[in-house]
Chain A
Amino acid sequence: MTDRSYDELGLVAGLEIHQQLDTETKLFCESPTELRDPEAATRTFTRYLHPTKSELGEIDEAALEESQVDREFEYLAYDTTCLVEEDDEPPGRVDEEALDVSIQIAELLDAAVVDEIQVMRKIVIDGSNTSGFQRSMLVARGGEIQTSDGPVGIEDLMLEEESAQKVAETDAGVRYSLDRLGIPLVEIGTAPDIRTPTQAKEAAQRIGTLLRSTGSVRRGLGTIRQDVNVSIADGARVEIKGVQALDQIDEIVELECDRQVALVEIAAELSERGASVGEPTDVTDVFAETDSGVIAGALDDGGAVSAVRLAGFDGLVGREIQPDRRLGTELSDHAKRAGAGGLFHTDELPAYGVTQAEVDELRAAVDAGPEDAVVLVADDPSVATDAAEAAAERAATAIEGVPEETRGANDDGTTRYLRPLPGAARLYPETDVPPVEPDAEEVPVPEVLDEKAERYTREFDLDDALAEQVAFGRRWPLFEELVDGGVDPTLAATTLESTLTELRRDDVPVDRLDDEAIGGTLELVADDELAREGIEETLTTLADDPSLSPSDAVEAAGLTGVDEDEVREAVVEVVERNEAQVAEEGMAAFSGLMGEAMGALRGKADGDLVSDVLREEIQRRA
């Protein structure tokens, strides 16, 4: 449906981008922002959370829905975490580095920084924050970015703490790791100005570029997360959480439009049919002798089968609303949320071992006619009833149209139900942290990456592609530092982009090379202590043993101390070995012998010197 008119559909979309910052320490304590392996945990402890009244006396609906079970949360602590992450010590002041970076981001987004930043608590009681809230603060509001389809407003920019990473679901509850908790995170919310899926993607890309322009954002999987708010004219606002891949945003928006269009059509048809939804009924007897493995399994464990008649729904429960997802899948999402493994509906039966006779009996048991559909859940008796009721509630909403809700992004671009939309009432003041008066004038505005690429071409004579590669890559801060320190810009750029890529392809563990290793190596070249030809081998040596200094690595790789005499000795040997060729071809033999000479010297000598000496030696014999 790519050629549909989004204008006619009345598509309105907005983005919420969450980006981790690459700071030395966490937002409210001195712990490093290092991610750890759960195996490295040094201690564990367990907690429960209890919902609290918010500042204005309301309890958030989303928070309440999550609190219905008394879940026990287990936390893994490390030698890199402290009592603040454990909620056993008040937080420190807002990290200044994180504050500066967020002010830079505000400037890049053309947003106005507030006079006084107040730290708030955002109630989150799924256990991902030990305190039961996420600390968050509004840093700036009212900005704008440009896309080819027009400007997109920036509503707000928040600085907040990252939540703890879920490690596992346990029998009692959930296990979380504290390493990620407290890493600074910025959240950028756009205005609902986006009108097409491609504009959504472009806006996300632009914001991504601006974020990377600070040089202080974390890179890699999970360090940036996009949420997308989508609605169409007859649909409803749906918040899609956790889109990991930027280039999937247009697809997600497209598929959500498909979903809402399909749900609107289904609603119209249901209204026309005068559809309604019944109450859960126990139909365990129908399946007493069933061959269905799922149902028989549940019954063998002492379970029951609960069914609900969906009057007027026949054929619509099985209608596809997104690739491989039907209205029935949505009902199933709600049943799962209520604790069941899933549900069956008559639009897909007989199947899965359920016979036609059982379907007939089931229909009879709930008084369902041919125009009706029936959904059924087999599980522990109370779970089966709750799940059937949850599915019925969702079915009732389908008669109305598209429900407002929070959904989660699936890998294939479709989405699944997560929870109701969060309310605005879940914020109250974090009284443990004093307000901050930001000084935006003290913070320099960073150069945007595309301007940076242009400047590299202009100032350093890099070709366009290489300049862009460096500017949009993760090593431009090092590149600028090296060039400032006298390293040849082209050499720095090719080393950082091509050489490292080639080494990676040759299975050299280049991730182990830090800025000091790479920078130190190039400085040796700038100081004439290492030949350009020796860079690859030096870096390989450093990657194999990161404890070495660059000059130690040069020595370890045997790349040191080749003076002109040794060069001449090696060149003479090559020339003499190829005496006949030299005699015959003269200077035309140069390029072939140059390769051989360089090979003999194994990158120990500077290419210009070898070339000069070889030329002399050939001339002498020619």
Chain B
Amino acid sequence: MEHAAGETEPAPGDRVRVERDGVTDEGVLMPSSDEERLVLKLDGGYNVGVDREPATVEVVDADVYDVGTTESEPGTRSEIDFETELPRIALISTGGTIASTVDYRTGAVTAQFDAEDVLRAVPDLAGRANYCGRVVANILSENMEPPIWQELADCVAEEIERGADGVVVMHGTDTMQYSAAALSFVLDTPVPVVFTGSQRSADRPSSDNVVNAVCAVEAAKSDCAEVLVCMHADESDDGCALHRGTRVRKNHTSRRDAFETVGGDPLGRVDYEPGDVTVRLREDVTYDSREFDLGSGIEVEREETTSRSVSTEPALNPNVELVKFTPGMDPAALDYLDGTDGVVIEGTGLGHVHTDLIPRFAELVDDGTTVVMTSQCLEGRVCDRVYDTGRDLLDAGVIEAGDTLPGTAKVKLMWALANCDDEASVAELMRRDLAGELTEESQPWR
């Protein structure tokens, strides 16, 4: 690449003229340029790539556009009040598509907004509540890790103690179900803790972020003191389903209505129309409700921290693996399980693995690993008393997790191992319902 005499190296934001093979392009240099190519934004608004090698570049006007990006650092906290009588909702951000924009370096969509920017991105939230914004992390949810669940739980607890009447956690959709499950076990919450996100990026006018965020805030003002996931109920923008944090699963890669309650119906629904948003909680299911009245008495209740007590048991043992058994599995694939404190098996059917693998699991149990069985059927409960394979697994010391979802079982086992003193009580916890993750009787129509 040649520069016209006396010119400085062109920088992103400069207006440049590029000549190559007799064709001249003039526009603003974009940061997505790389070694081989310049990316120009032409006056019509189009970006084009021009090969650097044979081109002559001349800076016409330096620094005409600010193309820099702003990142919000984790740890920031801010408050926005509309009217004093409105409930206070904590907006806790962990990153994800609900508040994301273009990354010029990779050209990909990444999370870059802090929780306050969410209000700017979703103006429809204004006036529904008073908000405080917290940024716990700014990560894509595939990069989520158990220590961040703990930080998140601490942050949620802190905001509830400070007087939040409800919490909305903005989270990437990929691992939202795991984080929601983690908080379900870690937190005993007196207010709704509502996870939401978006399947279609916030940088498009059609993003599901507006409907999801508005419905999540309304759900956070409701009477359901549970950890919930609030995402589109169907492909229309007419409302969201409220899923229990331990029974929810992302069942589609891209659709708005990817999240579903497995083995039952959602706990409720938020109907959405601009100017008319209604939360409808089901009356025929049990869930924890608020220990205080969210209405006229809010100010009084805020003084009385005892009635809005939140407790956390944030300890987690991360030394737990989830393994999926499939035909043809090499027994050597189980070698890395040596020394783990817990293993959740995603078995076939009622909860099976190849007969030849059973001794391997028996060995793990003997070495002190807690081994839990779930099913890759997802729907239905594990029952290892029906076939020989199952009976052999039980004899080997494998614990049945009922109809607990495999991912939820992994999170639960992390929590159980960290919070129980002995093996027997871990086993007992895994067979019992703690946070709606395991039903006592199979009634999937509920």
Q: Say yes or no: B47 contacts A56, CB within 8 Å.
A: no
Stretch from A246-254, A268-276, A349-357, A421-429 contacting the other chain:
A421-429
A206 to B285, CA, bound (A): 70
Q: Say yes or no: B236 contacts A90, CB within 8 Å.
A: no
User: What residues of chain A have their CB less than 8 Å away from a CB belonging to chain B?
Assistant: 45-52, 55-57, 70, 72, 83, 86-90, 112, 114-118, 120-123, 125, 130-133, 136-138, 141-142, 156, 158, 424-429, 431, 435
Interface centre among A46, A51, A88, A424 (most CB of B within 10 A): A88
A133 to B234, CA, bound (A): 22
Q: Say yes or no: B25 contacts A131, CB within 8 Å.
A: no
Using C-beta atoms within 8 Å of the partner chain, give the interface range for chain B: 35 or more
Q: Say yes or no: B274 contacts A141, CB within 8 Å.
A: no
B109: Cβ under 8 A from any A Cβ = yes
A116 to B206, CA, bound (A): 28
A49 to B206, CA, bound (A): 5
B332: Cβ under 8 A from any A Cβ = no
Q: Say yes or no: A428 contacts B102, CB within 8 Å.
A: yes
* B274 and chain A: residue at smallest CB distance: A70
| Chain B 41-71 residues near chain A, CB threshold 8 A | 41-51, 65-67
Q: Say yes or no: A48 contacts B50, CB within 8 Å.
A: no
User: In angstroms, how far is the closest chain B Cβ from the Cβ of A487?
Assistant: 44
B161: Cβ under 8 A from any A Cβ = no
CB contact between A116 and one of B37, B45, B236, B255 (< 8 Å): that residue: B37
B47 surroundings in chain A (CB, below 8 A): 118, 120, 138, 427, 429
Q: Say yes or no: B236 contacts A138, CB within 8 Å.
A: no
Q: Say yes or no: A426 contacts B45, CB within 8 Å.
A: yes
Q: Say yes or no: A118 contacts B205, CB within 8 Å.
A: no
Selected A-B contacts with CB under 8 Å, 15 pairs: A46-B237, A49-B206, A55-B102, A86-B235, A115-B20, A115-B37, A115-B51, A116-B49, A117-B48, A118-B49, A122-B45, A141-B23, A156-B44, A424-B43, A424-B45
Closest 10 CB pairs of A and B: A132-B205, A116-B49, A427-B45, A138-B46, A70-B274, A118-B47, A49-B205, A45-B236, A132-B206, A114-B48
B328: Cβ under 8 A from any A Cβ = no
* Further pairs besides A116-B48, A431-B108: 18, Cβ < 8 Å: A45-B234, A46-B237, A50-B210, A51-B205, A52-B207, A72-B237, A87-B206, A88-B254, A89-B253, A112-B23, A118-B47, A120-B45, A120-B47, A136-B46, A156-B46, A424-B43, A427-B45, A428-B203
Q: Say yes or no: B107 contacts A431, CB within 8 Å.
A: yes
Knowing A46-B236, A48-B211, A86-B235 are in contact, say whether A118-B46 is a contact too (CB < 8 A): yes
Q: Say yes or no: B107 contacts A89, CB within 8 Å.
A: no
A115 to B206, CA, bound (A): 31
Q: Say yes or no: B48 contacts A131, CB within 8 Å.
A: no
* A86 and chain B: residue at smallest CB distance: B235
CB contact between B205 and one of A56, A116, A123, A429 (< 8 Å): that residue: A123
A130 surroundings in chain B (CB, below 8 A): 206
B32 surroundings in chain A (CB, below 8 A): 429
A114 to B37, CA, bound (A): 12
A427 surroundings in chain B (CB, below 8 A): 44-47
Q: Say yes or no: A47 contacts B236, CB within 8 Å.
A: yes
A55 surroundings in chain B (CB, below 8 A): 41, 102
A72 surroundings in chain B (CB, below 8 A): 237
User: In angstroms, how far is the closest chain A Cβ from the Cβ of B300?
Assistant: 37
User: In angstroms, how far is the closest chain A Cβ from the Cβ of B57?
Assistant: 14
B171: Cβ under 8 A from any A Cβ = no
A115 to B51, CA, bound (A): 6
| Chain B 214-260 residues near chain A, CB threshold 8 A | 234-238, 253-256
